[in-house]
Amino acid sequence: MRILRSSEIALVEKKTIEEIGIPSLVLMENAGRSAFFHIRDRFKDKERFLVVAGSGNNGGDGVVISRYLKRESKNVILLVLGDNLEKLSPDNAKNIQISQKFGLEPIFIIERNLHILEEEIKKCDVIVDAIFGTGFKLPVFGYRGKAIELISISGKPIVSIDIPSGLDADSHRIFEPSIKADLTITFAYKKPCHVLLPASERCGEVVLVDIGLDDRYAEDFHRFLITPENLKFPKRKKTGHKYTFGHVGIVGGSVGKSGAVIMSAKASTKAGSGLVSVIVPDCIDQIVQTNLIEEMSYPLPSIGGMFSEDAYLKIPEVVSTLKISSVVVGMGMSVSNSSRKIVEEVLKLPKPVVVDADGLNNLSTIPDYKFLLGKRTHPTVLTPHIGEFSRLTGLRSEDIFDRMEEISLEFCKQTNSYLILKFSRMMIATPNGEIFYSTTGNPGMATAGTGDILAGVVGALINRLDILDALKLAVYSHGRAGDLAVLRYSQESLKATDLLEFIRVDRP
């Protein structure tokens, strides 16, 4: 499912109108009529509808909705925020003229008669918010802002058309004043505000409807939402054996942090890996072996509770001897000169590599790490949270949030790497300029160890699927495991190992 920004939507609409020849009035009719069907079906038992329309084309959608509600014999009041008909967009004005022929008379609302809105809010059953759409530029001032505030505190069910008025279609941020909708009906494509937190919380349930735009004009925009329908799943051949399904090598651990590699190893097994070996400092090997059953361990020399300075020399031999097919490095490793050497050595291997946690923190201490990543010939996956990505890029976390996609895509291009950026949503960025978001997962997963679980799942799947298919499935199934786990344990009680029971990498 493609996600488009407001400027991208505008371009697709423009080309559909100019090059295909579908009039803008037809698109508006399609939008309003489709939204009406959802409103009618959702609120079958409601009779009094208040439609609050703006002066632009989003308001025009609201006018069409009003007309269809009127035809359905509903009690509908249409309030238009503006001075008069001449101040409206041409399509909005045309639809008001059409609606008047159906006996629907709009009431124009400005500062001096804002009390009418207050009175109608008290009398209605449902409010339809059609004030501002994707073309709106923040912030909201004057009586329009007051109107949004009145609607927001009404306590009535609110349906927003395209986006809740007062939000920025392209941003994760919440702006005030803005509507908190119960239902948002959006057109053709979801927008970033429908997907990214906290803005998406203002959207309520989001319903997507087709209005007849030509999808060919959206093909140049590579921002997607991960859904089960566009996932690929690994298959187990009847003639396969354990090496057929990959051997994941988990490299990491230090005294006090053995749990990280243990969780990652168990996640790899649950994600279908044929074999999993944990390569750890010998000082924690006994603890690791005690907590693993299906997985194996391979100890390397240690000093001071972590890998010794020369442990990195053993990495190529171990990987070759054990026939390891992918490597996950960094969990619980601690940051040190010896750990940095381990990371560097792993990145020299002709294998797919996943770098997580302290692997990323050690990587950020290597002055030419981008060159090291860029010359790799096998897939490299980095799985930072915002803080770790800040250390890698040298940018403030706030700046990353404001320009997340642009910064991530530039980073992937410079390093020829794939990025799984962990924040309130999971985002995959690719060196080919693609962005993928997942909406699975929940706040209960904001606890130690869930990232280690994800790294293990990624490590297993990159042996079974093409790299991008593996990353999409890993992110989706990791979040889904969290969503299933909270049904049993609750968000407050959730711990990372609870996810292991629910990891599934086959079709839901």
Q: Rounded to 5 degrees, what are φ and ψ at 448?
A: -60, 130
pLDDT of residue 507: 82
Fold observed for domain 242-502: UDP-N-acetylmuramoyl-L-alanine:D-glutamate ligase (3.40.1190)
pLDDT of residue 395: 96
d(CA 158, CA 142): 21
The CATH class of 6-218 is alpha beta
Q: How confident is the model at residue 306 (pLDDT cuts 50, 70, 90)?
A: very high
pLDDT of residue 472: 98
Tell me which of 126-140, 189-203, 285-299 is least confident. Answer: 126-140
pLDDT of residue 487: 96
Q: How confident is the model at residue 91 (pLDDT cuts 50, 70, 90)?
A: very high
**Averaged pLDDT score across all residues of the chain:** 96
Q: Mind spelling out the 3-state secondary structure of 6-72?
A: HHHHHHHHHHHHHHHCCCHHHHHHHHHHHHHHHHHHHCCCCCEEEEEECCCHHHHHHHHHHHHHHHC
Using the structure block, give the residue that is written with the tokens 């001071």: 304
Region 372-380 average pLDDT: 96
Asked whether this chain's domains 6-218 and 242-502 adopt the same fold, the reply is no
Domain ranges of the chain: 6-218, 242-502
Using the structure block, give the residue that is written with the tokens 């109107």: 147
Question: To which H or E segment does residue 263 belong?
Answer: helix 258-270
C-alpha to C-alpha distances, 135 to 140, 169, 282, 409, 423, nearest whole angstrom: 13, 8, 60, 25, 27
> pLDDT tens-digit profile of 446-493?
999 999 999 999 999 999 999 999 999 999 999 999 999 999 999 999
Cβ-based neighbour number of residue 344 at 10 Å: 16
pLDDT of residue 437: 98
pLDDT at 204 over 90: yes
**pTM of the predicted model, to two decimals?**
0.94
Region 238-247 average pLDDT: 92
pLDDT at 9 over 90: yes
Region 8-27 average pLDDT: 97
Using the structure block, give the residue that is written with the tokens 């790899």: 268
pLDDT at 124 over 80: yes
pLDDT of residue 83: 87
pLDDT of residue 32: 98
pLDDT at 508 over 80: no
